C-alpha cells in the first residue's frame, strides 16, 4: 500500500461500532486514542468507531475519559459498560485477575470482546474465558499487538513462502527493565492474586504467541523460573503504574509471582526453540525480539528497533552477513501513517492497526486472530512450562480447551 492523501468513502454510509472500555490505565487510554485515530488513518474503512462509555475505579480517569478522550459517558461500575445498549464491543484493559468475570459477563450479554492479554491471570482462567466466549458465539480479540508490526508481517510472509528454507531453530525473548529497580512499586503485576503469574504471563506470552504465528504449535517444553526481587514498596492506592517508584522508607509487600521464566521447546514442524523473559534484567529496556534460522536463510526483529528487520538469504552470491531492511510504505499499512522508507512508526501505531483489524472482523462477523483461541494456545504451553518448573523434566503441551 503506497501512501496517498486521505479521501473519504463515496459509496455509502459507514456502520457505527459502539465501544465501551473497562479499565482506563495505560492500555485503556492507548486503545481509546487508537480507536479515535482510525478515522484519520484508514479512509477506506467501512465502519465508524464511537467511544460510548468508559469505566474505571479512579474518578480522575473517568473525568479524563469524558473530558479529554471524548467518551459519551463514564462510570465507576463496569456493569454499566456491558449493559449499555449502545455498546457493541467491550474493550477490557483491567488487571488480569478481573478478566474472567468481565469476559463471562460480556459474553452473556452478547457483546464482542477485545481483551488485553493474557485473558485471565492463570491458564485455567483463560480456558474458562475462551469457553464462555465460544459458547456465546461472540467475536474475540487479544492484545498481542506485536503481530501487527508491518515488518513482522513481512517476516511471516518470507517464512510462509519458503524463502528461509526448512526452519531449524527459533529464539524468542522479551526482556524488560520495568522491574529492575528494587524501588519499583508492588503493582498488581507482582501479586499472584491480582495479576496471576508474572514474567511468563506478562512477557513470555508475547514471545511465544509470535512463534505460534510464525512457526506453528509447540509440542513439549522444559523450563525454569525465578523471583529475584522478593519485596517491593507498596503503591499509593489508585495511583501510578508498574513503572512507578517508591521510597526507601515506604512499607513493603511480598512479590508472589516470578520475575524470570525460560524454556527450551520443540515445535510440531521439527524446529527447536529457546525462549526467555525477564522483568528485572538490567540492560535490555524493551527487547521483545525473535530470530528465525532456516536452511536457506535467517531473519530477526527487535521491538527496540521496531522499524528494522535483519535478513540473511543464502542466495549463492559471494557475500555473507545480514541486510537491514527498513520499514516503509511498501510494507502495509506503514504508509497509512508515514510515506516513504525509513520514516518510523511507533508502538501506539501498532495498537491502531490492531484495533482497526479487530473492528473489521466484527463488521464482517468473521473469527479474528489473534483471538481467545490463540490465547488458549499460549496458556497450554504456559501450563506445560509451569509443570516443568516443578518436575524439572520435559513436559508435553496439552490443550486446555474446555467443552
Structure confidence by residue, pLDDT tens digits, 32-56: 999 999 999 999 999 999 999 999 9
Q: Is residue 10 part of a domain?
A: no
Place of cell 527447536: 272
Position of cell 514474567?
199
In a domain, 398, yes or no: no
Which of 99, 116, 145 is the C-terminal boundary of a domain? 145
Helix (H) / strand (E) containing 348: helix 347-364
Element (H, E) at 288: strand 286-294
Backbone angles phi, psi at 189, to 5 degrees: -65, -20
Same domain, 135 and 192: no
Where b means 16+ CB within 10 Å and e means fewer, 239-248 reads eeebebebee
Same domain for 247 and 364, yes or no, is yes
Q: Helix count (H) and strand count (E) of the chain?
A: 11, 17
Statement to judge: residues 137 and 193 lie in one domain = no
Query: 218 with 330, same domain?
Result: yes
Per-residue model confidence (pLDDT) at position 6: 38
Q: What is the pLDDT of residue 195?
A: 82
**CA dist., res. 379 & res. 205, Å (int):** 8
* Mean pLDDT of the 192-209 span: 93
Is 358 part of any domain?
yes
Do both 135 and 66 map to the same domain? yes
> CATH number of the domain that 269 lies in?
3.30.360.10
Residue 7 neighbours by CB distance under 10 Å: 8
Give the residue from 117, 145, 173 where a domain finishes. 145
**187 and 332, same domain (yes or no):** yes
7 confidence band (pLDDT: 50, 70, 90)? very low
Same domain as 172, residue 124: no
| Helix/strand/coil for 17 | strand
Closest alpha carbon to 382 in 177, 211, 162, 165: 211
Cβ pair 290, 170 in contact under 8 A: yes
Give me the number of domains the chain comprises.
2
What is this structure's pTM?
A: 0.92
Residue 384 belongs to some domain of the structure: yes
- Structural domain contains residue 6: no
CA distance 129 to 373: 10
Question: 283 and 260 in one domain?
Answer: yes
**Smallest Cα–Cα separation from 375: which of 235, 205, 166?**
205
Residue that terminates a domain, selected from 113, 145, 177: 145
Indicate whether 108 belongs to any domain: yes
Kindly report, residue by residue over 103-154, the tens digit of the pLDDT. 999 999 999 999 999 899 899 999 999 999 999 999 999 999 999 999 999 9
Share of the chain above pLDDT 70, in %: 94
The domain that contains 131 carries what CATH number?
Answer: 3.40.50.720
pLDDT in tens, 313-336: 987 665 678 999 999 999 999 999
- List the one residue out of 277, 236, 235, 227 whose CA is nearest residue 255: 227
Q: How many residues does the chain have?
A: 403
Q: Are residues 114 and 238 in the same domain?
A: no
pLDDT by residue (tens digit) across 149-195?
Answer: 999 999 999 999 999 999 999 999 999 999 999 999 998 889 998 88
3-state secondary structure of 22: strand
Q: Quick count: other Cβ atoms within 10 Å of Cβ 342? A: 11
Structural domain contains residue 1: no
64 plus 170 within the same structural domain: no
Q: How far is CA 99 from CA 65, 192, 352, 379, in A?
A: 21, 14, 22, 15
Average pLDDT of every residue of the chain? 94
Residues 243 and 341 in one domain: yes
Per-residue pLDDT tens digits for 219-273: 999 999 999 999 999 987 655 566 678 888 899 999 999 999 999 999 999 999 9
Interhelix angle 347-364/26-41, rounded to 10 degrees, is: 70
Do 128 and 191 contact (CB within 8 A), yes or no?
no
For residue 72, being part of any structural domain is answered with: yes
- Residue 55, beta-bridge partner list: 22, 75
In sequence order, the 6+-apart residues with CB closer than 8 A to the CB of 278 are 175, 176, 199, 203, 259, 260
pLDDT at 318: 58
Q: 3-class DSSP state for residue 369? A: coil
Closest C-alpha to 38, from 368, 356, 359, 335: 356
| 193 and 133 within one domain | no
Indicate if the alpha-carbon torsion angle 238, 21, 6, 147 is positive or negative.
Answer: positive
By C-alpha distance, which of 224, 289, 229 is closest to 259? 229
Q: Which residue range forms the structural domain that includes residue 106?
A: 15-145
Which strands form 272-278's sheet, in the order they lie side by side? 323-326, 308-313, 297-302, 286-294, 167-176, 272-278, 260-267, 218-226, 395-396
Amino acid at each position: 500500500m503506497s501512501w496517498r492523501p486521505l479521501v473519504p468513502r463515496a459509496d455509502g454510509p459507514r456502520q457505527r461500532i459502539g465501544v465501551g472500555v473497562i479499565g482506563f490505565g495505560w492500555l485503556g487510554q492507548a486503545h481509546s486514542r487508537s480507536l479515535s485515530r482510525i478515522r484519520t488513518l484508514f479512509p477506506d474503512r467501512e465502519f465508524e468507531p464511537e467511544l460510548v462509555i468508559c469505566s474505571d475505579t479512579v474518578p480522575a480517569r473517568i473525568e479524563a475519559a469524558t473530558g479529554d478522550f471524548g467518551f459519551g459517558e463514564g462510570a465507576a461500575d463496569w456493569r454499566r459498560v456491558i449493559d449499555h445498549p449502545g455498546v457493541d464491543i467491550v474493550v477490557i484493559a483491567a488487571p488480569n485477575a478481573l478478566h474472567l468475570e468481565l469476559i463471562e459477563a460480556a459474553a452473556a450479554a452478547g457483546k464482542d470482546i477485545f481483551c488485553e492479554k493474557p485473558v485471565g491471570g492463570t491458564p485455567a482462567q483463560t480456558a474458562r474465558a475462551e469457553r464462555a466466549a465460544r459458547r456465546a458465539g461472540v467475536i474475540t480479540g487479544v492484545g498481542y499487538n506485536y503481530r501487527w508490526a508491518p515488518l513482522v508481517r513481512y517476516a511471516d510472509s518470507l517464512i510462509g513462502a519458503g524463502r528461509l528454507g526448512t526452519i531449524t531453530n527459533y529464539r524468542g525473548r522479551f526482556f524488560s527493565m520495568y522491574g529492575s529497580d528494587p524501588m519499583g512499586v508492588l503493582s498488581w503485576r507482582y501479586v499472584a492474586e491480582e495479576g496471576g503469574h508474572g514474567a511468563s504471563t506478562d512477557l513470555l506470552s508475547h514471545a511465544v504467541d509470535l512463534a505460534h504465528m510464525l512457526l506453528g504449535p509447540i509440542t513439549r517444553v522444559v523450563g525454569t523460573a525465578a523471583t529475584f526481587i522478593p519485596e517491593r514498596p507498596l503503591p499509593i492506592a489508585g495511583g501510578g503504574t508498574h513503572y512507578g517508584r517508591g521510597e526507601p522508607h515506604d512499607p513493603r509487600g511480598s512479590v508472589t509471582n516470578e520475575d524470570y521464566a525460560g524454556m527450551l521447546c520443540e515445535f510440531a514442524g521439527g524446529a527447536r526453540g529457546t525462549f526467555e523473559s525477564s522483568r528485572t534484567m538490567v540492560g535490555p529496556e524493551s527487547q521483545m525480539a525473535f530470530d528465525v534460522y532456516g536452511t536457506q536463510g535467517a531473519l530477526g526483529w527487535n521491538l527496540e528497533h521496531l522499524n528494522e528487520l535483519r535478513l540473511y538469504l543464502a542466495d549463492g552470491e559471494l557475500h555473507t552477513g545480514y541486510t537491514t531492511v527498513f520499514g516503509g510504505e511498501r510494507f502495509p499499512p506503514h504508509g497509512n501513517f508515514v510515506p516513504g522508507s525509513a520514516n518510523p512508526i511507533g508502538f501506539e501505531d501498532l495498537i491502531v492497526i490492531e484495533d482497526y483489524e479487530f473492528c473489521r472482523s466484527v463488521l464482517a462477523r468473521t473469527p479474528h486472530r489473534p483471538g481467545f483461541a490463540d490465547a488458549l494456545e499460549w496458556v497450554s504451553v504456559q501450563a506445560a512450562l509451569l509443570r516443568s518448573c516443578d518436575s524439572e523434566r520435559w513436559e508435553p503441551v496439552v490443550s486446555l480447551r474446555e467443552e
